[in-house]
Amino acid sequence: MSNASGPGRPAASEGTEASSFDTRKHTPVQRLQHFLHGNPAAVPMIVVVVSVVVFAATIGPKFYSAFTLTLILQQVAITGIVSAGQTLIILTAGIDLSVGSIMVLSSVVMGQFAMHYGVPGFVAVIAGLAAGGLCGLINGLLVSLVKLPPFIVTLGTWSIFGAITFIYSGNETVRSQDIDQTAPILHFFGNSFRIGHAVFTYGVILMVALSALLWFALNKTAWGRHVYAVGDDKNAAMLAGIRTGRVLVSVYVVTGLICGLAGWALIGRIGSVSPQAGQLENINAITAVVIGGTSLFGGRGSILGTLFGALIVGVFSLGLRLLGTDPQWTQLTVGALIIIAVATDQWIRKVSA
């Protein structure tokens, strides 16, 4: 009666004869593939480890030092945070092209409130986060109430939020020194602590904590199950009694808030508030999610995969820079990397299906 080893075997294998189907020997390779199939974040994790090892062997201690490795973490923190939000959206079979615009808009709101409206720093932060949440709400309502394709909605709001940022800020960059004097809380995520040579900014902690929190929410709460269900088959989820509209709106709002957090962390990272920042953050985030093994068709993927996906890009960017590669060649390599990562993932899934 054991069909534990053949989960795909349907009703017919329930009888005693089923055993005859399960006696095929599994080679170690097959077992590895099976493991990889069961753990979607495993492939990107392995790629991270392998690439660190390869770069360390090639470049030596300059790369393989606590300082450099934690530097990579700092460099991917913003993208890591934004792509955590992007993962939620893509899990619902959506896509959000406006994440970068929301992030910058939030940071600009924080800067303007703190510098020009004379409110305390934490009020400015709350205003910025609220702006992010509001942008997410607009996206979410257009997607769930007006039922427009997310690609279109966020293609539109990408322009709109971007334009609002420029108009609202008057293209003004707020200087780091001024922030330090008026509202140092805006720099919170830029502060760091050291453990030996390793340097961790609070932005890095935020990225890791946020990923852990979302992992918990996605896997251990009803909301998380609903997010997967909506992305998997929206109509089935609706018929099964899930309020799909609410789930969608909540996902876009949460992502908006996460982008707001990213905007706050961005101020910490670059010091100043610049309306010009983050113009490619949407592409970076989608790249991280995709390399992390989340399906653009929704319902399949993991937040940890995304974290490793962002790290892969970070490791490659820094590694190639330290190797002295030309920026154009780095761009070429990252392009090839995206394709190779997804092809590998696909191959593993196929063989271990």
Partner 1 sequence: KDVSACLITKTDTNPYFVTMKKGAEQTAKKLGVDLKTYAGKYDGDNQTQVDDIETCIADGVNGILITASDTKAIVPAVEKARKAGILVVALDTTLQPTNAADVTFATDNFEAGKLIGEWAKKRLGNKKAHIAFLDLAVSQPSVGVQRDQGFMQGFGIDIKDKNKWGDETDPRIVGHDVTGGAEDGGRKAMENLLQKDPSTNLVYAINEPAAAGAYQALKAVGLQDQATIVAIDGGCPGVKNVQEGIIGATSQQYPLLMASKGIEAVKTYVETGKKPQNSPGLDFVNTGVNLVTDHPVKGVKSIDTKEGLKRCWG
Partner 2 sequence: MDSEGFGMNTTTQPILSARALTKNYGRVTALDNTDFDLYPGEVLAVIGDNGAGKSTLIKAISGAVVPDSGEIRLNGQPVQFVSPMQARDAGIETVYQTLALSPALSIADNMFLGREIRRKGVLGKLFRMLDRQAMEKFAREKLSDLGLLTIQNIGQAVETLSGGQRQGVAVARAAAFAAKVIIMDEPTAALGVKESGRVLDLIRDVKARGLPIVLISHNMPHVFEVADRIHIHRLGRRIAVVDPKTISPSDAVAIMTGAKAPPEEGLAA
Ligand X SMILES: Nc1ncnc2c1ncn2[C@@H]1O[C@H](COP(=O)(O)OP(=O)(O)OP(=O)(O)O)[C@@H](O)[C@H]1O
Residues in contact with partner 1 by the rule CB under 8 A: 62, 65, 67-68, 71, 74-75, 78, 162-163, 166, 170-177, 190, 192, 199, 201, 266, 269-280, 317-318, 321-322, 324, 326-328, 331
Two tokens, residue 252: 């876009």
Torsion of CA 126, 132, 134, 137, to 10 degrees: -140
Residues 149-208 that bind a second copy (CB under 8 A): 149, 151-153, 155-160, 162-164, 166-167
3-class secondary structure, 157: helix
Binding-site string for ligand X from residue 177 to residue 206, where x marks contact by CB under 6 A and - marks none: ------------------------------
Whether residue 77 contacts residue 203, with contact meaning beta carbons closer than 8 Å, is answered with yes
DSSP H or E stretch at residue 86: helix 66-91
Whether residue 240 contacts residue 229, with contact meaning beta carbons closer than 8 Å, is answered with yes
Identify which of residues 36 and 110 has a Cβ nearer to partner 1 in the complex. 110
* Among the listed residues 9, 116, 147, 321, the single contact to a second copy using CB under 8 A: 147
Residue 155, contacted partner among partner 1, ligand X, a second copy, none, CB below 5-8 A by kind: a second copy
Residue with CB nearest ligand X?
10
CB of 169 to a second copy, least distance (A): 11
Dist. CA 251–CA 245, nearest whole Å:
10
Residues 6+ apart with CB under 8 A from 188: 202, 264, 268
Residue 321 CB neighbours (<10 A):
12
Dist. CA 326–CA 112, nearest whole Å:
38
Identify which of residues 116 and 350 has a Cβ nearer to partner 2 in the complex. 350
Identify which of residues 68 and 250 has a Cβ nearer to partner 1 in the complex. 68
- For residue 5, report the phi and psi dihedrals to the nearest 5 degrees: -85, 0
Among residues 299, 324, 293, which one has the least CA distance to residue 89?
299
Binding-site string for a second copy from residue 246 to residue 285, where x marks contact by CB under 8 A and - marks none: -------------------------------------x--
- For residue 326, report the phi and psi dihedrals to the nearest 5 degrees: -65, 145
CB of 325 to partner 1, least distance (A): 9
Answer positive or negative: Cα dihedral of 296, 42, 308, 218.
positive
DSSP H or E stretch at residue 194: strand 192-195
Identify which of residues 192 and 344 has a Cβ nearer to partner 1 in the complex. 192
Question: Applying CB under 6 A, what is the total number of residues that bind ligand X?
Answer: 3
Identify which of residues 162 and 268 has a Cβ nearer to a second copy in the complex. 162
CB of 174 to partner 1, least distance (A): 8
Asked if 61 interacts with ligand X (CB under 6 A), we say: no
Asked if 7 interacts with ligand X (CB under 6 A), we say: no
Residues 6+ apart with CB under 8 A from 157: 98, 101, 135, 138, 139, 142
Residue 25, contacted partner among partner 2, ligand X, a second copy, none, CB below 5-8 A by kind: none
Two tokens, residue 238: 């609706």
Asked if 241 interacts with partner 2 (CB under 8 A), we say: yes
Dist. CA 294–CA 95, nearest whole Å:
12
Task: Report the interface residues with ligand X, using CB under 6 A.
Answer: 8-10
Task: Report the interface residues with partner 2, using CB under 8 A.
Answer: 1-15, 17-18, 20-21, 24, 34, 216, 220-223, 225-226, 228-229, 232-233, 235-243, 299-300, 351-353
Task: Report the interface residues with a second copy, using CB under 8 A.
Answer: 142, 146-149, 151-153, 155-160, 162-164, 166-167, 283, 286-287, 290, 296, 326, 328-329, 331-332, 334-339, 342-343, 346
